Chain A
Amino acid sequence: MTTEVVLKIAISGVLTGLVYGLMALGLSVIFGVVRVVNFAHGEMMTIAMYLVIVFFSALGLDPFIMLVPVSAVLFALGYLMQRAIINPFINRPEHSQFMLLVAVAIVMVNGLLLIFGPDSQGITTSYSFDSFDLGGVIIDAGKVYAAIAALIVAVALFSFFRLTLTGKAIRACADNYNGALVVGLDVKRLYSLTFGIGAACVGAAGTMLMIVTDVTPAIGPAYTLLAFVIVITGGLGSMPGAIVGGVLIGLTEALGGFFFTPSAKTMFSFAILVLVLPFRPQGIMGRKTA
C-alpha cells in the first residue's frame, strides 16, 4: 500500500516536473542566448494562465487546442518586450537588467490583479477527474496529458534549434556574439525572436499547468523562483538541463511534501539548489564556462 502511494506521488511529481521543466526551458533559452535573466518569468506565465481562463470561459476551448493561441500571444509579448525595452539593456550591468524586469513584473502582477481580482481561478475539463490505474498506482489523466504535451513542445523546440536555419543562427548568437555580428546576422532581431520563443514556452507550460492547478495574480514570483531553481540546478543555458532539473525538482517537491508537510515542500528544492551550486556551479547538465 505505502509503496503504491509513494510511487503514485513520485510519478505525479515527475509529470508535474516535466511541465515545470518546459517553463524553465523558456528561462534557460532566454538566458543562454540573450544573457538576460528574466525576472518576470513567472509573471509571464500567470499572464498565460489567465489567457487560458479567458479563452476557456469565452470559447470553451480545450487546453490542448489553446496551446497554440496562448503560445502565440506570449510569443508576441516576449518579442515586443525584447524589442522595446530589453534590447537597450543588453550591455547594462546585471542589477540594472534586474531592476527593469522587476519593474515589468510589478506591472504585470498588479495589472492582472486589477483585471481579474485577487481570487484563485481555475478551469475544469472533461478529463479533470479521470485517472489511469497502473496495477494499483493511480495517476491523474490530466497530468499525464500535460506532461506528454510538455515533452512534445520541448522536442519541437530542440529540433527547431538543431534543424532550422533560424535556430542555428540563434545558437550562433549564443556561442559567439561578435562572430555572429561579423557574419552578418541581425542579432537584435534574433534576440527578440529568442525572447519570444522563451515566452512561448512559458505560454505552453502555463496552459498545461492550468489543467492541474489554479492561478492567482500573486503566484507569479513563486513560479519565477521555481524556474530559477530548476534552471540553475539543471544548468543555466542548457536545454536538456532544464527538463532534467524540472523532473528532479518536481520529484523532490512531491516526495518532500508527502514525507514532511506540503507547505515545506519548496524548502527541499532550495536545499537542492544550495547543494548543487557550490559543488557543481554550472548545474547538472551545464557546460563549464569561464
Chain B
Amino acid sequence: MKLLFDGVSRSALILLALFFAALLLAPMVANDYVLVVLVTILYFAYAGQCWNIMMGFAGQLSLGHALYIGLGAYVTAALYVKFGISPWIGLFPALAISGAVGAVIGFLAFRFGVSGVYFAILTIAFAEFARIGFDHFTWVGGSGGFFLPVANYTQNDFFNLRGSQKMFYYILLAMTVGAFILCHLLLRSRAGYYWLAIRESPEAAEALGINIFRYKMYAVVLSAALTSLGGVIFAFFYNNLFPEQVFHISRSIELILGPIIGGVGTLFGPIVGAFLLTGLAESLREIMLRLGVDLPGVKQVFYGICLLLVVMFLPDGVWPPLKKNSALIATLTERRADHGAPRSQRHFEKLQRSEGRAERHLRSAARKDRGPDWPERRRQDYMLQYDRGCL
C-alpha cells in the first residue's frame, strides 16, 4: 500500500479518484450506444497497457499482439462451448498458453539476438502463422468462424460471462484499473528499473550485470499473458471469432495505436490514447452520418490523416506534453522531490522523462561547442564518434 501511494501527490489522488468515480457512474447515464463505445475504449486501454509493458517499459516492439488476444479468446471460448467450462476457469489455460507462446517467441528472438525491426517482424510472423493456422483448424470452426451461443439474457450470469453490456463494462473497468495499478507498481519494482535500463541501452544494462535475457523474457511473458485476458473478454462480448479478424495484422496495429498516440512508456498513455482514438473514430462516424457522406473509406482517410498529424507534431504522444504543460495534470503525476520522495525516485523520473531520447540528448549536447578545450580535436573526431549506430 505504501509503495502504491508513495510519492503520489494528494491532488493527483483526488483527481484520479474523481476520474474513477466518473467511470463508475457512467453506465447510469449512458445509453446503449455510449456504453458500447465505453466498453471499446476500456478494452483498448487495457490491451494497450499490456502492450506497453513490453514496448514502453522493456523496449521490445511487438507488432503481433493480436496473437495473444486471439489465443485468449479461442482457448476460453472453445473450453466454454465444447466442454461447458466457465471462462473464469478457462482463463487459466488461456493465460498459460499465451504466456508459453510469448516465451517461445521471446526465446527465439532474445536467445539469438533478434531485436528492433527484426523482432517486430518475427512477432508479425507468429501472428500471421496463427491466423492461417486457425483458418484451417476446423475443430473451432476454421475460417467459417467460431460462435458462442447468444440468447436474450434477463439476468447476468457472471460465472459464465453471459449478460448485459454493463457487466462487461464493469469487468473491463476493473481490469483496466488493475492493469494500471500493476504497471504503476512494476515501474517501481526492481524489474521495472531493469526494464527501463534495458530499453535505454541494452549494452549498458548488460554491462551493469542485469540479466537482460531473463528480464526481456519476463516482459514478454507477462505482456502476453495479460493481453490474453483482454481476448477472453473480446470473445464473450462479441460472441463470434473469425481468424481473419481476430489475428489479422490490422488488429495488432489497432491495439498499439492507442499507447503510441497516448505516449509510449507512460502509465496514462494507453488510457488517453484509447479515449482519443475511439472518440475520434466515433465522432468521424457521426460527422459523416450528419453530412450524409456514405462512401467506404472516407472515415478511415480522415482517421489516417489525424494519426499522421499527431505523430508528426507530437513525437512523444499526447500525454507527455499534456503532463508538462498543464499545471493541473502536472500535480497529478509529478512525483516531486520535495514531497519527500526517495532519491531513487527522482532518478526514475529522469529515466521516465527521457522517453528514449536520452541518447539523442547526449548527442546534441556533444554537438555544442563546450569551450576552448581541445577544439580542433573535438571538431575532427566527434563526427566519427557519434556514429548513428546503425551501420
Contacts and interface: CB of A to CB of B under 8 A. Distances in A.
Given A263-B136, A267-B133, A277 B114 contact: yes
Given A99-B311, A267-B129, A107 B117 contact: no
Given A114-B298, A182-B383, A274-B129, A95 B253 contact: no
A103 B304 contact: yes
A60 interface: no
A156 interface: no
Contact of A270 (B111, B125, B261): B125
A236 B121 CA distance: 12
In the complex, which of the residues A106, A178, A179 has the most CB atoms of chain B within 10 Å of its own CB atom? A106
A104 B253 CA distance: 13
Nearest to A118: B296
B120 to A, nearest CB: 8
Contact of B311 (A35, A96, A114, A271): A96
Interface of A: 31, 35, 37, 85, 88, 91-96, 98-100, 102-107, 109-114, 117-118, 174-179, 181-182, 217, 221, 225, 228-229, 232, 236, 261, 263-264, 266-267, 270-271, 273-274, 277-279, 281, 289
Contact of B249 (A92, A118, A221, A236): A221
Top 5 nearest A-B pairs (CB, nearest first) are A106-B304, A113-B297, A110-B297, A107-B304, A110-B300
Given A102-B307, A178-B388, A278 B356 contact: no
Nearest to B129: A270
Contact of A110 (B121, B249, B304): B304
9 contacts: A88-B312, A93-B356, A94-B120, A96-B311, A114-B295, A177-B387, A228-B124, A266-B128, A273-B121
B112 interface: yes
The SS class assigned to the B binding surface is helix
Interface in B375-391: 383-384, 386-388, 390-391
A92 B315 contact: yes
B297 A111 contact: yes
Contacts of B124: 225, 228
A259 to B, nearest CB: 14
B122 interface: yes
B32 to A, nearest CB: 28
Nearest to B256: A95
Contacts of B118: 232, 236, 277, 281
Contact of B391 (A37, A104, A174): A174
A117 B80 CA distance: 40
Nearest to A35: B390
Interface string B105-119: 000110111101110
A26 B92 CA distance: 45
A114 B297 contact: yes
Contact of B126 (A35, A274, A278): A274
Interface string B295-309: 111111101110110
A181 B129 contact: no
Interface string B235-265: 0000000000000011001000100110010
Contacts of B128: 225, 266-267, 270
A122 B298 CA distance: 24
Contact of A263 (B117, B132, B300, B315): B132
A204 to B, nearest CB: 24
Contacts of A103: 304-305, 307-308, 311
Contact of A236 (B117, B261, B295, B388): B117
